[in-house]
A and B are shown apart, each in its own frame.
Chain A
Amino acid sequence: MATAAAAPDLEPASSFLRRRWLSGQLFPYALITPSVAVIAGVLAFPLGMLVWLSLQHYGLRELIAHQGEWVGLGNYQAILADPLFRQVIFRSLAFTFTCVALTILLSTLIALLLLKVRRAVSVVVMSALVFVWATPVIVTVDIWQWMFDYEFGVINYLLTQLHLGNFIHHNWFDNPVQGLGVLVLVVVWGAIPFVTITVFAGLLQVPGELLDAAEVDGAGPWQRFRFVTAPMLKPIFLIVTCLSTIWDFGVFNQIYVLLNQRPSADYYTIAIYSYRESFGVSQYGLGATIAVLMVLVLIVVTLFYVRETVRQAEIA
C-alpha cells in the first residue's frame, strides 16, 4: 500500500528533472560545474583561508604550533587605526591611477600609430612589444635597476653626456616622489605591450566605411576617434582598464626588486605592506588582514568597470 501511494509522487519529480535536463535548463549548470569546482578550489578556498587567518593572532609561535588564537575583528581595528596604513592606501591608489592612465594613453597612441605605419614597421614594433611582454619581470627589473644605478648606471651617464645636467652620482631613489616616478616608468613600460596589442586588435575591427563616412561628413581625426573609434572600443577599454587597475594596485615585484628587497616605508604600497607584516615581522594575521582590505578596496575601485562591462555584454 505504502509503495503504491509513494510511487505516483516520485514519478513526476524524476520526469520533471528529465524534462528540465532535456529542455536544456540544467544542462548548462552541469557543464559549468567542473570549472566552478576548480575556481572554488584554487580561488575561493585560499581566499576563505585568508579571511579566517585575518581573524586570528597568528605569529611565528602559532605557525610552529599549527594553532592560531582567535581575535575576531581585532586585527582590522589595529590596521585601520594605523596611520601608516592610510598613507599606504593613498599611495597605492595614486600610484595605480597614474600607472593605469599612462598605460592606457600611451598604449592607445602606439596602437593608433601601428595602424598608420607600413607593414614592415608594424611587424618590428609588434615583435619588440612581444619581447618586452615575454621577458620575466624579475629579469627586466634587474636590468632597470642597473640602468638607474647610482654609481654605474647608464641613465646617469647618458643624461650627463647629453648635457641635461650633472647626473654623476644622482640618486633616483633619494627623493620618494622621484623614486616612485621611476617605478611608474618601469611598471608602465611592462604594461604597454598587452594593452597595445589588445587595443590594436580592437582597432582592426572598426569598419573602415564608418570612418570614411565620418570623414566625408567633415569629421577631423580627433572627432573620428572620439565619436567613432572610441565608442566601438569601449568594451576593450573597460576590460584593459579593469585588468590594469587590478595589476597595478597589487604591484609588488617591481618595487621589491628595484629597491633591493628592502624598500623603505616611503615606498610601501599595499602589497609590499602586507608582505612586510606577514613575512617581515611574522605577523601573519595582520598581513592577512591587510590583504583582505586590499581585496575590498580593489572591489570598490573596479566595481564601476565590472558593472559597465556587464552592461556592455547585455547590450551585445
Chain B
Amino acid sequence: MMFRKSWVTVVSVAVAVLAAACGGSSGSSNNNSSNQTATLTVWLMNGSAPQSVIDEVNADFKSKYPNVTVNVEIQQWGDIGTKLDTALPGNTPPDVVELGNTLVAKYAAAGALEDITGKKTGFDNSATWLQSLTDSCTQAGKLYCVPYYAGSRAIIYRKDFFASAGVTPPDSMDGLLTVGQKLMDAHKSDPSFSALYYPGKYWYAALPFVWDFGGDIATQSGGKWSGALSSSSSQQGLTTLSNLVSKLSRADKTGDEAKQDAAFAQGHIAMIIANGWEVGVITDPKAGNPALKDQLGAFPSHNAGQTAPVFLGGSDLGVASRSKHQDLANAWIATLTGNKHMAEMATVGGVIPNTTSMLSLGTGINSIFFSAAKNSKFVPNSQNWASVENANVLPDMLVKIFTKQMGVADATKSASDRITTILNGGG
C-alpha cells in the first residue's frame, strides 16, 4: 500500500487517443444537482495522482456541479493511520478518503465508511475491477470503497552492470543467487556495492518469497485466523530470502525501503525490488540520476521459469460515513475512476489501473509491472490486519532474521503467534 511516488514520466501517444475515445462517459448521472452548493473535502495520498490529473478531474466535476468547491488535500503515508483515526469520527470528516488497500477493512468494520453496495453499478468498469482490490473493499458481502489503482513489484536492474559482469537476468531463484554472486565478484573493490539491495524492514518484498514456496501470512478456517509464517513452506521462503540478503545486500538491515531509490541512483547497486513508479524517482532530475534512464531493465521474480506471486499493493477511495455530502463525494470518485481519468492514471501516472480492461495500457518497462500484477496475492482480509501492520510484526521479524538475533524458526514462530492473536481480535 505504500505509494510514495513522485509522478512517473512515461507519457505515450496512447493517452491522447484513449482520452479522446473514452471521454465523456465518466461520472454518475445526477440531474437535479447542478445548483447544489457545498464544499467537498478530498484526502488523496502523496503521489497517488499527478497534479495534472487532479486538476482535470476537478474541472470536469466543476462543469457538472458549478456551485461545489472541491478541496483536494494531499496527505502523507507516514502518519495517515493517526490522522484517519482522529478525522473520520469527527463531525466534519473529509468526504472522500484514499485508503491503502490493507487499511480499508479496519475502517469499514468500524463503521467509518459509507456502504456503497447499492451504488456499485454507477461506477465505470465495476464489472471488471481488479479482483484483489474489490476484495479489499468488501466486508461481509458489502462494498465500502471503490478500487482506485494498484501497484506491484518487480526487480529493477542496471543493464550496464549486468553486461559488464557478463550475466543475463535469471529465470529462477537459484539463478538470482548465482547472478548476484557474479555481480558481487565483479564489484569486489567497491565496499558499498550491493548486487541486490534489500533493506531489512521491506516486508512487501518478502511476501513473494513466502508465497512462492506455498507459505502464507495467515489462514482462516471456521472464522478463526491462524498465523502461517511458521509453517515449513513459509520458513523455506524466508530462509531463501535471508540467504540472498546476507550474500548480496549491504543495505541497512534495520532500515526501510524509503531511501532505496536515492541509494540506487548513487550507482552502487545492481538490483532493487521496486514498484513500477519508482523508475521515475530513480531517473528524476532533482532527486535521482537521469543518466540511468536507458540503463534500467526489469523482470518479475522467477521460480523455475514461473513468476512468484507478488504482493498487490494499491489504494481505494471511500466516503466517510459521517460525511454530509455523500452523493457529491461518490460523484467525485466516479469522475476520478471513470474511463477518461483512469486511463490517464495508467499512462501518465504509471500505476496499474483499477480494471483488467486497461491492463494493456502498460508500455515499455511498465508492462512488466502490469503483467506481474496478474499473479498477485494479498494480505489477510481482516479488520484487524491494519493492527498487524501498525504493530510492525513483519518488519520486526525480518530484522530479527537478517541481523541473526533470532533464527528463522524462532522469529517466524513468535511473529506467527502475534499475528494469530491480533487477527483474532486480541491486542
Binding site for B on A (CB under 8 A): 59-61, 63-66, 78, 150-151, 168-169, 171, 173-174, 260-262, 264-265, 276-277, 279-283, 286
Contact = CB atoms under 8 A, between A and B. Distances in A.
Interface of B: 78-79, 81-82, 85, 88-89, 106-107, 109-112, 191-192, 201, 250-256, 258-259, 263, 321-322, 386-387, 390-392, 395-396, 399, 403, 422, 427
A169 B200 CA distance: 14
11 contacts: A61-B111, A66-B89, A151-B252, A169-B250, A262-B392, A265-B392, A279-B81, A279-B82, A280-B391, A282-B85, A282-B386
Contacts of B396: 264-265
B427 A264 contact: no
A66 B90 CA distance: 9
Contacts of B81: 279-280, 282
Nearest to A283: B427
- Which of A61, A64, A78: most chain B CB closer than 10 A? A64
B192 A151 contact: yes
Contacts of A66: 89
Contact of A174 (B254, B263, B427): B254
A146 to B, nearest CB: 11
Contacts of A261: 78-79
A60 B427 contact: no
Contacts of A169: 191-192, 250
Nearest to B402: A174
A150 to B, nearest CB: 4
Contacts of A281: 387, 390-391, 422, 427
B263 A262 contact: no
Nearest to A286: B427
Contacts of B254: 150, 171, 173-174, 264
B391 A276 contact: yes
Given A261-B78, A265-B396, A277-B427, A60 B192 contact: no
A276 B387 CA distance: 10
Contacts of B106: 60, 282
Contacts of B88: 64
A78 B427 contact: yes
B392 A64 contact: no
Contacts of B85: 60, 63, 279, 282
B83 to A, nearest CB: 9
